[in-house]
Amino acid sequence: MEKVEEKFLRYVSVWTTSDPESKTAPSAKCEFDLLNMLADELHKMGINATISAQGVLMATVPANLDSAKKSGSKKSVGTKKVPTIGFIAHVDTAPDASGKDIKPQIIKNYDGKDILLNKALKLKLSVKTFPEMKAYKGHTIITTDGTTLLGTDDKAGVAEIMCAAEYMMEHKEFKHGEVKIAFTPDEEIGCGVDHFSVKDFGAQYAYTLDGGAIGELEYENFNAASAKIEIQGCNIHPGYAKGKMINAMLVGNELINMLPPKERPEHTSGHQGFFHLTNFNGTVESAKMSFIIRDHDIKKYEERIKMMKKIGEKLNKKYGKGVVKMEIKNQYYNMKKIVEPKYFIVKQAIEAMKMAGVKPIIQPIRGGTDGAMLSFRGLPCPNLFAGGHNFHGKLEYVPVESMEKAVEVVKNIITLTLKS
């Protein structure tokens, strides 16, 4: 059976960066390259897999409890009584950094010190900056070469699910109910499950493997919105501009300064929300800005949206109607509302981690997952650790042992469903 490390290294070699400017689904054709690879591997395992035109892969590992029942095993469980569960990961990588031509570096028996990623760029993983690295002394760590992201988010999750699937197919003595698998595109740009059919998937509940460090277990995420802003300025020769020129870039700066300066990602943690400027391009004549708006508390989230809209209204009152155009879209909501009433699926994950010798770390996600949107569509979907750190950038890394533990946790969850 192939190791999770081997699968992971193969998957990160495939370029799958999603494109936020695309109007297609999936947003980038290259995402099909990995989806097709995964479908081929599943078929070779004996698992039927389909890929939709929009790039959603779904597969089913059939229950093997009937054979146990026929053999007279006292521990056999009727397939009708065992819930169908699912495991989900996404194939795309974030557009925040290059995901093309990834060249992973493998550090065996990590010594607990700084890791040089790229000598020419003088780029390193610093223990001072990332003290959590010390916990992985003696482990095998996979890093970038300092020129791209690594793709742990979420190809570690993909590899872990694929390993669990392969184990089920190769080890007939491992009894399990029906297990559903899904790999989605475009999670990083908020479109991962736009074309995901919960009905076709057919699971009663599921888990995304899209979390960070070993032990992370999350069922609470941000409420999220995007804000796209267009500013129409008025360009006049600077020598004759008094009382006439409207500098779109300066209006944009004014908008930024009207937002609470301490409510930005770099100043917040835990349950604290924020406004995050992700893009700002412009000239005197026109400018475009993009924000993401986040908060765990739904009332505070709604207040943030109202604040952004009021700022737009104030600027239009000051500079003229239509100078600032704003489009705010809700992206996803906090799944806590859906998952908490079915807390047994969280308890199941906690027990599965303890069985694997992993200490559960329950905390809110300072982000979102496909599971958030799926939860509101009737598929409760907490998030499990995939093992990586420093997602979306050149400092990303993952301990191999963390991925191995994630595979073990998935197998334990599958076993625990027989008792539910």
Locate the domains of the chain by residue range: 4-221+334-416, 223-332
CATH class of 4-221+334-416: alpha beta
Considering only 59-73, 94-108, 265-279, 397-411, which range has the smallest mean pLDDT? Answer: 59-73
Nearest-angstrom CA–CA distance, 305 and 233: 24
Q: From the candidates 5, 19, 31, 92, which is the catalytic residue? A: 92
Q: Which fold has domain 223-332?
A: Alpha-Beta Plaits (3.30.70)
The model's confidence at residue 75, banded by pLDDT at 50, 70 and 90, is: very low
> Is residue 102 pLDDT above 50, yes or no?
yes
Question: What pLDDT, on a 0 to 100 scale, did the predictor assign at position 342?
Answer: 95
The pLDDT confidence band at residue 97, using thresholds 50, 70 and 90, is very high
For the segment 144-150, the average pLDDT, to the nearest whole number, is: 98
Confidence class for position 70, pLDDT limits 50, 70, 90: very low
pTM for the predicted model, two decimal places: 0.87
d(C-alpha 228, C-alpha 266), whole Å: 21
Average pLDDT for residues 213-221, to the nearest whole number? Answer: 96
The helix (H) or strand (E) run that includes residue 27 is none
Answer yes or no: 92 catalytic. Answer: yes
Percentage of the residues of the chain whose pLDDT score is greater than 90: 92
pLDDT band at 29 (very low <50, low <70, confident <90, very high): very high
Q: Which two tokens stand for residue 96?
A: 């925040």
31-45 and 4-12 are packed helices; what angle lies between their axes, rounded to 10 degrees?
150
Selected catalytic residue, list 41, 187, 188, 218: 187
Give per-residue burial for 292-319: e unless 16+ CB within 10 Å, then b: bbbbbeeeebeebbebbeebbeebbeeb
Mean pLDDT of 269-293: 97
Buried b / exposed e along 228-261 (16+ C-beta atoms within 10 A): ebbbbbbeeeeeeeeeeebbbbebbebbeeebee
Rounded Cα gap, residues 210 and 212, in angstroms: 7
pLDDT of residue 369: 84
Q: What is the mean pLDDT of residues 208-236?
A: 96
Is residue 69's pLDDT more than 50? no
- Output the pLDDT for position 77: 52
Q: Which of 330, 354, 49, 342 is nearest to 207 (CA)?
A: 342
Q: What is the pLDDT of residue 72?
A: 37
Closest to 408 measured CA to CA, from 203, 154, 209, 135: 209
- In this prediction, residues 31-55 reach a mean pLDDT of 98
For residues 303-322, average pLDDT = 98
pLDDT at 81: 80
Percent of the chain past pLDDT 70, that is, above it, reads 97
Asked whether the beta carbons of 396 and 149 are under 8 A apart, the reply is: yes
Which tokens go with 162?
């694929």
Q: Residue written as tokens 């990332």?
A: 130
d(CA 166, CA 199): 25
Quote the mean pLDDT of the chain. Answer: 95
Average confidence (pLDDT) over 139-149: 98
